[in-house]
């Protein structure tokens, strides 16, 4: 049994602002409550919601840790009352309500998963936020089935390349957008059937050409803004638009007539605010349906760059630059 210290290093934002407000500080080690596990963090993933939280635009839900960080991988250090699925020493990766940029983090036991067979802590830390988000929004909310065509924007991001691989594994045709020839090539290497450089071509026209003007059954969008109306034009009859972020803003002037004429569905979600029971259900589905895909190599983890925990500001600056291809992680243990 490894002793749990009273204090730990973690990242704090001095105030809402740019990346340099992030600093390494000392604080109390959290204690797991009933139904929770305490994880000794090895690596933490860096995600767009982390950037929003740092800037003051994405406050943690009630009861969640104010420390930034929504996904981790590490070792179970202690379990709370009623937890039987995990025990001290187990290697896990977890979707957390917050607290990931720290040496210790608590997470609901039902939101933890074993490391996929063949993957280490570094790769496993880059999976939960993307896998939970994609499974729920593409397959549960978006109802994608084999034989349909999906359009995903930002295909070189963590969400994007996870969507490409997962959708292909379950029999869909995938069209992706990305900015620049290198990112287009990356999307194709991940399995995209078609990849469109949105800087060089109109993705609406390209989708029409690819699908013979039929359109796609599902669009997964994290851009918003002017993409909203354009996404509607890309959808086939009975198509679905799922929105998970608003990089171009959440307001747009949109002609909603296509929703009536093509019987479209528009939906969206935020994973962090989803009910705990829903996230536990997603975890169960991932373990059964998706973890085998990582184990047999049909899905891969792509790490663009690793930073030490104390370099969180640099990690956020890279995230905001959109120059990365794949995931960014923080090395916490010894970082």
User: What's the CA angle centered on 316, arms 180 and 134, to 5 degrees?
Assistant: 65
Read off the pLDDT of each residue in 222-228 and give the average, rounded to a whole number.
Answer: 96
Percentage of the chain beyond pLDDT 70 is 99
- Answer positive or negative: Cα dihedral of 244, 227, 317, 61: negative
Domain 131-268, CATH class in plain words? alpha beta
**How many other CB atoms are there within 10 angstroms of residue 29's CB atom?**
19
- Answer positive or negative: Cα dihedral of 23, 24, 27, 33: positive
Give dist(CA 121, CA 109) in Å, integer.
18
Tens of pLDDT, residue by residue over 6-24, are 999 999 999 999 999 999 9
Average per-residue pLDDT for the chain = 96
Give dist(CA 85, CA 131) in Å, integer.
21
Give dist(CA 102, CA 222) in Å, integer.
27
Give dist(CA 20, CA 17) in Å, integer.
8
Determine the pLDDT at residue 3: 87
Cα→Cα distances 232→133, 238, 258, Å: 21, 11, 7
- Answer positive or negative: Cα dihedral of 191, 192, 193, 199: negative
Q: Residue 216 pairs with which residues in a beta bridge?
A: 235
Determine the pLDDT at residue 334: 67
Tens of pLDDT, residue by residue over 145-155, are 999 999 999 99
**How many other CB atoms are there within 10 angstroms of residue 121's CB atom?**
21
Read off the pLDDT of each residue in 16-39 and give the average, rounded to a whole number.
Answer: 97
Read off the pLDDT of each residue in 245-264 and give the average, rounded to a whole number.
Answer: 94
Categorize the per-residue pLDDT at 142 as very low, low, confident or very high, splitting at 50, 70 and 90.
Answer: very high
DSSP 164: H
- Answer positive or negative: Cα dihedral of 113, 114, 117, 123: positive
pTM, full prediction:
0.96
Asked whether the predicted pLDDT for residue 2 surpasses 80, the reply is: no
Tens of pLDDT, residue by residue over 69-126, are 999 999 999 999 999 999 999 999 999 999 999 999 999 999 999 999 999 999 999 9
Asked whether the predicted pLDDT for residue 335 surpasses 70, the reply is: no
- DSSP string covering 228-279, please? HHHHHHHEEEEEEEEE---TT-S------HHHHHTT-EEEE--STTS-HHHH
Check: CB of residue 269 under 8 Å from CB of residue 244: yes
Out of 1.20.1250.20, 3.90.180.10, 1.10.730.10, 3.30.70.990, select the CATH number for domain 7-127+272-331. 3.90.180.10
Tens of pLDDT, residue by residue over 176-215, are 999 999 999 999 999 999 999 999 999 999 999 999 999 9
**How many other CB atoms are there within 10 angstroms of residue 319's CB atom?**
22
Q: Name the segment(s) of the chain with CATH classification 3.90.180.10.
A: 7-127+272-331
Check: CB of residue 175 under 8 Å from CB of residue 154: no
Q: Name the segment(s) of the chain with CATH classification 3.40.50.720.
A: 131-268
């Amino acid at each position: 049994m490894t002793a749990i210290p009273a204090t730990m290093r973690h990242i704090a934002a001095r105030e809402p602002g740019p990346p340099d407000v992030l600093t390494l500080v000392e604080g109390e080690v959290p204690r797991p409550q009933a139904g929770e596990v305490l994880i000794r963090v090895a690596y933490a993933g860096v995600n767009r919601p982390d950037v929003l939280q740092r800037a003051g635009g994405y406050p943690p839900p009630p009861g969640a840790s104010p420390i930034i960080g929504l996904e981790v991988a590490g070792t179970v250090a202690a379990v709370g009352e009623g937890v039987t699925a995990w025990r001290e020493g187990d290697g896990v990766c977890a979707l957390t309500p917050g607290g990931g940029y720290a040496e210790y983090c608590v997470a609901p036991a039902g939101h933890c998963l074993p490391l996929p067979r063949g993957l280490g802590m570094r790769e496993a830390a880059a999976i939960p936020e993307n896998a939970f988000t994609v499974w729920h929004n593409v397959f549960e909310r978006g109802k994608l089935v084999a034989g349909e065509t999906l359009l995903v924007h930002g295909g070189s991001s963590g969400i994007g390349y996870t969507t490409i691989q997962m959708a292909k594994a379950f029999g869909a045709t995938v069209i992706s957008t990305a900015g620049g020839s290198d990112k287009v090539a990356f999307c194709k290497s991940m399995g995209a059937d078609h990849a469109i450089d949105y800087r060089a071509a109109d993705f609406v026209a390209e989708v029409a050409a690819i699908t013979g003007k039929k359109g796609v059954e599902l669009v997964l969008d994290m851009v918003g803004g002017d993409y909203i109306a354009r996404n509607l034009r890309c959808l086939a009859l009975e198509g679905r638009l799922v929105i998970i972020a608003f990089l171009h803003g959440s307001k747009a002037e949109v002609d909603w007539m296509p929703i009536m004429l093509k019987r479209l569905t528009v939906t969206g979600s935020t994973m962090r605010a989803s009910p705990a029971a829903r996230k536990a259900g997603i975890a169960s589905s991932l373990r059964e349906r998706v973890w085998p895909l990582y184990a047999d190599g049909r899905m891969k983890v792509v790490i663009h760059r690793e930073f030490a925990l104390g370099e969180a500001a640099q990690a956020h600056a890279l995230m905001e630059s959109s120059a990365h291809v794949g995931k960014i992680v923080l090395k916490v243990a010894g970082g």
